[in-house]
A and B are shown apart, each in its own frame.
Chain A
Amino acid sequence: MLDAFSRSVVSADAKTAPVGGSDLAGLRSYVRDGNKRLDAVNAITSNASCIVSDAVTGMICENTGLIQAGGNCYPNRRMAACLRDGEIVLRYISYALLAGDASVLDDRCLNGLKETYIALGVPTQSAGRAVAIMKASATALIGETNSPASGGKRFRKMETTQGDCAALVAEAGAYFDRVVGAIS
């Protein structure tokens, strides 16, 4: 498993060169925006169960066949497995966001996930849709772009210092896209 710092070390070692100059600029921005990053991780972890249950609910609302007899979220046992998988994916994304590198997500979550889903008969299109909904709500919480109109009675705004979080929102979004890409 690598983080942003060890990633630059591993790539520098491949060239037998020290880490310096432009490589350090990227790491300095990680350090400078460290508090923002921790707030972003906190935004995901604090709302984890809400993000997951919203995503699975949304996925089922769009395709109610999933909870009818023979559907992949029927009976409760399989629905519970679906919620559990959503939480696991979100957890590894939170690790990747904390580390600033996707290797933990790749190695420990996505490697072989598609094959497992195909073997178990899990519809990867629906799973990808659930991850896409998680992306929408997680990035809205990180960037604080959610509104009462879109959030409904579950509307929540993280009470953090105002600032430009575009880079972190993009980074988190890329991790969600990575999951969708890996299973579809």
Chain B
Amino acid sequence: MKSVVTTVVTAADAAGRFPSQNDLEAVQGNIQRAAARLEAAEKLAAGLDAVTREAGDACFNKYSYLKQPGEAGDSQVKVDKCYRDLGHYLRLINYCLVVGGTGPLDEWGIAGAREVYRSLSLPTGPYVEALTYTRDRACAPRDMSPQALNEFKSYLDYLINALS
């Protein structure tokens, strides 16, 4: 799993040297920013279900045709799966906030997503809409501190860019 520490250790190991001052400084920089992202991770974990529900509702409100016969959400089972996927994406963002890098999203969320959605003929636009709604809905200091919110939104943007 890619993170600042594992990147530093991999590079040091490839060169066969002990962790240098540069490596320790890199880890130190990561640690200094860690408080904000751990706060964001904690708040997101606490409100994961509510955030998922709001995001899914926003998406089905905007694209109400999705629930018509023959569309991606024409049965409750399919609608539930959409909410489940949104929950998965938000959980992966929680992991990214913990690790401090995009590793979890890349490895477990984005890799292969395009191919899966194409073969199931699912639109990615509604996912983008739901995540955009979450991004614009979150605000500081109501939900979390400004710095934590910044970290949270940067991962949401990363995912939105990957899906759009």
Interface residues of A (CB under 8 A from B): 1-3, 5-6, 8-10, 12-13, 16-21, 24, 27-28, 30-31, 34-35, 38, 41-42, 44-45, 48, 91, 94-95, 98-100, 104, 108
16 A-B pairs with CB atoms under 8 Å apart are A1-B1, A5-B98, A6-B1, A6-B3, A9-B1, A10-B1, A17-B91, A19-B41, A20-B42, A27-B98, A35-B28, A94-B18, A95-B13, A99-B9, A104-B6, A104-B13
CA distance A76 to B44 in the complex (A): 59
Interface residues of B in 1-54 (CB under 8 A from A): 1, 3, 5-6, 8-10, 12-13, 16-21, 23-24, 27-28, 31, 34-35, 38, 41-42, 44-46, 48
B95 within 8 Å of A (CB atoms): yes
CA distance A6 to B8 in the complex (A): 14
Compute the total of residue contacts between A and B using a CB distance below 8 Å. Answer: 113
Complex contact A24–B9 (CB within 8 A): no
CA distance A31 to B42 in the complex (A): 15
**Chain B residue contacts of A2, Cβ below 8 A:** 1, 6
**Chain A residue contacts of B6, Cβ below 8 A:** 1-3, 6, 99, 104
Are A95 and B12 CB-contacts (below 8 A) given A2-B1, A9-B95, A41-B19?
Answer: yes
Scan B91-126; emit 1 where CB is below 8 A from any A CB, else 0: 100110011100110001000000000000000000
Interface residues of B (CB under 8 A from A): 1, 3, 5-6, 8-10, 12-13, 16-21, 23-24, 27-28, 31, 34-35, 38, 41-42, 44-46, 48, 88, 90-91, 94-95, 98-100, 103-104, 108
Are A20 and B94 CB-contacts (below 8 A) given A6-B103, A95-B13, A108-B13?
Answer: yes
Min CB distance B68 to A, Å, is 31
Are A20 and B45 CB-contacts (below 8 A) given A5-B99, A6-B3?
Answer: yes
Are A8 and B98 CB-contacts (below 8 A) given A24-B42, A34-B31, A42-B24?
Answer: yes
Scoring A2, A6, A12, A108 by chain B CB atoms within 10 A of each residue's CB, the highest score goes to A6
Complex contact A13–B108 (CB within 8 A): yes
CB-based nearest B residue for A38: B24
Min CB distance B1 to A, Å, is 4
CB-based nearest B residue for A45: B18
CB-based nearest B residue for A31: B34
Are A1 and B24 CB-contacts (below 8 A) given A6-B3, A19-B45, A24-B38?
Answer: no
CA distance A1 to B88 in the complex (A): 23
